[in-house]
A and B are shown apart, each in its own frame.
Chain A
Amino acid sequence: MRKYFTREHLGYMFGVLVRPIDSFYEIRYRDKGSVPLAVICVFVLSALFTINRIFAGFVVNDVNPRTIDGIEEMSAFFLILALFCIGNWAVTVLMEGEGRMRDIITVAGYAMLPIALILGPATILSRFISLEEAAFYHILIGIGIAWTAVLMLIGVMTVHNYTLLKTLITLVLTFITILLLVFIGLLVLDLLNQIYRFFYSIYTELVFRF
């Protein structure tokens, strides 16, 4: 267990923020990444997301409190990132990508770090601003999202040893793959449901007959 949470791992996680290319290179080729840390990143982000929706100041908060469900939002985060990881892996395996599954997970998790780090202070800040200063809050959130997007791009590019163009192409293909995965997933669920109901109706038939 210890080997996932060393000071070195943490150092590389935060190093991603300032030297993304070098750090992602080390993560891929010298095994400096940690999947559990990446999962914790996503966990923290999803928790902060819900906290932001509940506790952000009234001036910037346009969320109906009746629509907030922390568990649902957390599962949505994990589901989307899991779909991204699977989709990206499926595409890059066929396109000479050098990244392994654990590298992709690490990239996806670590890339969430900037927005996770910004969301907390931004939520606190939002409780001290008026409508005129709301722009600062929105800019802050915007910077976080842009930073995360850049990290994602650089991460995928580095761990697979791709050019920028090839990265963009694989990202588009990843998106299509995600749609396919969702479609097939729903199909399989529906079929399983029908099979279940088939056997269940046989069972009820037998029960009524004997």
Chain B
Amino acid sequence: MKAKRIAAIILLVIIVAAVASEAALATSVPYDTYTYDYWGFIVYTPAAYIPGESISGVSLGTGTFNDPQGIFAAPDGAVYIADTGNNRIVVLEPDLHTVRDVISTFDNNGTEDSFNRPRGVTVSPDGLIYIADTENRRVVALDGTTLVKTIRDPEAELLGENFDFVPLKVAVDFAGRVFVIARNMFQGIMTFNQDGEFVGFYGTINVNITLWQRFWRALSTQEQRARQQQFIPTEFTGLDVDPMGFIFASNIDMAGEQAVRRLNPNGEDVIRRGENEHLGGDLLMFPFSDSPYSGPSNIIDVAYRGKGMYSLLDSRRGRIFTYDREGNLLYVFGGMGQQAGTFRQPTAIAVQEGRILALDAIRNELIIFEQTLYGELINRAVSLRYDGDEALAVETWREVLILNENLELANAGIGKAYLTAGDNINAMRYLELGMDRHHYSIAFRRYRNDILKDNIGWMLTVMVAGIFGFVVLRALRRRRHKDVIDDGGGTMDA
């Protein structure tokens, strides 16, 4: 009877535990969070960001969004959304729950003017709102609701006679230069000066044709060539400006290797590409499948996160990739789906303090991703390292390791700190876990020198004694041998 009761209790505990864990699963995040290790294997990590609310516009009292395409988070925390299908710009307060303004008309020198499918919006450092008014084929700069200037019909020999200027995205740096991504403009980002005159192209991506492609092209006929894919430079897709005035520009890379550039004022790419030289989103691309889910990541927007970090938005698999200044992949999260917190057609990304905002053009929603403890710790450690505060950064990396002991970046960071502190054994241990050969080698050499220094005395003694002993022994044996021969076959027991 007693045994039966114990069995019943055990069974009950098991059932409760199973149900409880099921419940825990049900509340978990609707996507995986992961990163890639040194060998390019996926390493699943705790969630760095979890989906928070989704804002559809109904709760704001502005009516639902329609095909929103552009988002910009201003330095004061306000969020500007280009509500493309409704031909308006919605401005939200930093809390994202109250509307500051809805701009659908503006004052154009006394007459009322409106937008036609605006796709991009940004705010310049001097407070003007720049809007890529796409189907009106112009970029307008507003001060409140008053038109300050218009950029349209840029004229230059470079552009040709019947050039159709269709602006998609816009960014402004502290010097007032305006950067515009225009449709079918493969030469690069168009730049305009403060007066709205076309200055030139910026950050042009060169086409690389491999020898193999050239070989096949040489072999194919005129007709085949017409049907082949064209070798045109990739288009830019998104823009952001960092406080130093460098432009972050995302682009679509069919090779999946570099989908973001950091352009200096001359238009040269100065981004750092990290250990494995990969800034293209996913490493695993499932290339042998026909599904729309396969292929390189389709990076359509970039957001500068501060402290050298930046996030990329992939519209193919709905993922958000975050890199640090050195080009190390920190975490990847997000996914396509029907659940809350997943994407159906992501279009743009922006960053507020502690959260990531993304627009979805089919859900017609602004999706908020809230930072978790894990994400916050990584962000903080990377920021501290960016500021050069290594000691505090190490403390933070240690906390990260408690949550995810496989993170190579954290292990390498701690290892480097031990190296600086002179603890070579611990440095070697952590640097090996962090796959940092260069610093491991330095720690190892110091460790080896220490051992040699401590032991060189007795090692040399043993060596000299050994050589001496060997010489003496050989001389003795030779003499004995000689004695035996001298005996001329006498007694051999000597």
B477 at interface by CB-CB < 8 Å: no
| Chain A residues in 8 Å Cβ range of B445 | 130, 132
Q: Which residues of B contact A132 (CB under 8 A)?
A: 441, 445
A64 at the interface (CB under 8 A from B): yes
Hey, which chain A residues are within 8 Å of B437, CB to CB?
58-59, 131
Residues of chain B from 391 to 450 with CB closer than 8 A to chain A in the complex = 432, 437-438, 440-442, 444-445, 448
Asked if residues B438 and A131 are in contact (CB atoms below 8 Å), the reply is: yes
Q: Note all chain B residues with C-beta closer than 8 A to A58.
A: 432, 437, 440
CA distance A132 to B438 in the complex (A): 10
A131 touches B441 (CB 8 A): yes
Q: How far is the CA of A66 from the CA of B448 in the complex (A)?
A: 29
A130 close to B39 (CB less than 8 A): no
Could you say which of A59, A66, A128 contacts B441, with CB atoms under 8 Å apart? A59
The reply to whether A130 and B438 contact each other, CB–CB distance below 8 Å, is no
State A130–B437 Cα separation when bound (angstroms). Answer: 9
The number of chain A residues touching the other chain, given as a range, is: under 10
A59–B440 contact, CB under 8 A? yes
User: What residues of B have a CB within 8 angstroms of the CB of A64 in the complex?
Assistant: 39, 41
Tell me the bound Cα distance from A64 to B445 in angstroms.
24
Known: A131-B437, A131-B438. A59 touches B39 (CB 8 A): no
Question: From residue A45, how far is it (CB to closest CB) to chain B in Å?
Answer: 26
- Residue numbers of A with Cβ under 8 A of B are 58-59, 64, 66, 128, 130-132
Q: Which residues of B contact A59 (CB under 8 A)?
A: 437, 440-441, 444
**Which of under 10, 10 to 19, 20 to 34, or 35 or more describes the interface residues of B?**
10 to 19
14 more CB-based (< 8 A) A-B contacts, given A59-B437, A64-B39, A130-B442: A58-B432, A58-B437, A58-B440, A59-B440, A64-B41, A66-B39, A66-B41, A128-B448, A130-B444, A130-B445, A131-B437, A131-B438, A131-B441, A132-B441
> Which partner residue on chain A sits nearest B39 by CB separation?
A64
CA distance A58 to B433 in the complex (A): 10
* Cα(A131)–Cα(B436), bound, Å: 11
Q: Which residues of A contact B448 (CB under 8 A)?
A: 128, 130
With a CB–CB cut-off of 8 A, which chain B residues contact A128?
448
Q: List 22 A-B contacts (CB under 8 A).
A: A58-B432, A58-B437, A58-B440, A59-B437, A59-B440, A59-B441, A59-B444, A64-B39, A64-B41, A66-B39, A66-B41, A128-B448, A130-B441, A130-B442, A130-B444, A130-B445, A130-B448, A131-B437, A131-B438, A131-B441, A132-B441, A132-B445
Give min CB distance, A136 to chain B, whole Å. Answer: 14
Kindly state the separation between the CA atoms of A72 and B386 in the bound complex, as whole angstroms: 46
A175 CB, min distance to chain B CBs, angstroms = 24
B442: chain A residues within 8 A (beta carbon): 130
Q: What is the distance, in angstroms, from B453's C-beta to the closest C-beta of chain A?
A: 15
CA distance A64 to B38 in the complex (A): 9
Query: Chain B residue with minimal CB distance to A67?
Result: B39
| Complex CA distance for A130 and B442, rounded to whole angstroms | 7
The 6 closest A-B pairs by CB, nearest first: A131-B441, A130-B445, A130-B441, A64-B39, A58-B432, A59-B441
The complex places the Cα of A36 from the Cα of B470 at a distance, in Å, of 38
